[in-house]
Amino acid sequence: MFEAIHSERLAASPEAVWELWADPARWPEWNQQFERVEGDVLPGAALTVKYRRGGRVRYEVVSLEPQRLLIVEARFPGARLGHEHRLKPRGHDAEVAHRLYVRGPLWPLFALLLGRKRMRASVAAFVERERELVA
């Protein structure tokens, strides 16, 4: 398995951060790889992501704890790509964490195709962009 993790404390309310995550139509605001996202953040719901570089990927909401945790996964032959969003209130601030992971028997191939360095940079960029959006 490969994973890229980044977390930071933001001077923003946890509710403001959760609003970004709970509305898939806003995901392209903090994930610049996305052109458009359709669907709802509900347990077991399907989300369709249209990437800026082309192609569509179907994700599924595999875990949801409102105001705390959102995990979505895309299934590929022999691998799963997941994005875990964690939110912890810290007084009036929020600790935000993003974790991208690839798991399954063919994870090394998909980690190579997706780019480990790019995945590491993405999780940090998500938090930075969220900081700008909720400030």
Which pLDDT tens digit goes with each residue over 94-135? 999 999 999 999 999 999 999 999 999 999 999 999 999 998
Q: What is the pLDDT of residue 57?
A: 97
Q: 15 to each of 4, 65, 88, 122, how far by Cα in Å?
A: 25, 13, 10, 23
The Cα 13–Cα 6 span in angstroms is 19
What is the percent of the chain with per-residue pLDDT over 70, rounded to a whole number?
100
DSSP state of 18: H
CA distance 90 to 28: 26
- Count of Cβ atoms closer than 10 Å to residue 84 Cβ: 19
Share of the chain above pLDDT 90, in %: 96
- Bridge partners of 38, per DSSP, are 48
* Mean pLDDT to the nearest integer, 59-70: 97
Using the predicted structure, report yes or no on whether residue 82 has a pLDDT greater than 90. Answer: yes
User: Which CATH number fits the domain that encloses residue 21?
Assistant: 3.30.530.20
Residue 23 has pLDDT above 90, yes or no: yes
- What pLDDT is stored for residue 87 in this prediction? 97
Would you say residue 45 has pLDDT above 90? yes
Report pLDDT for 99: 98
| Total domains, the chain | 1
Residue 94: domain span: 2-134
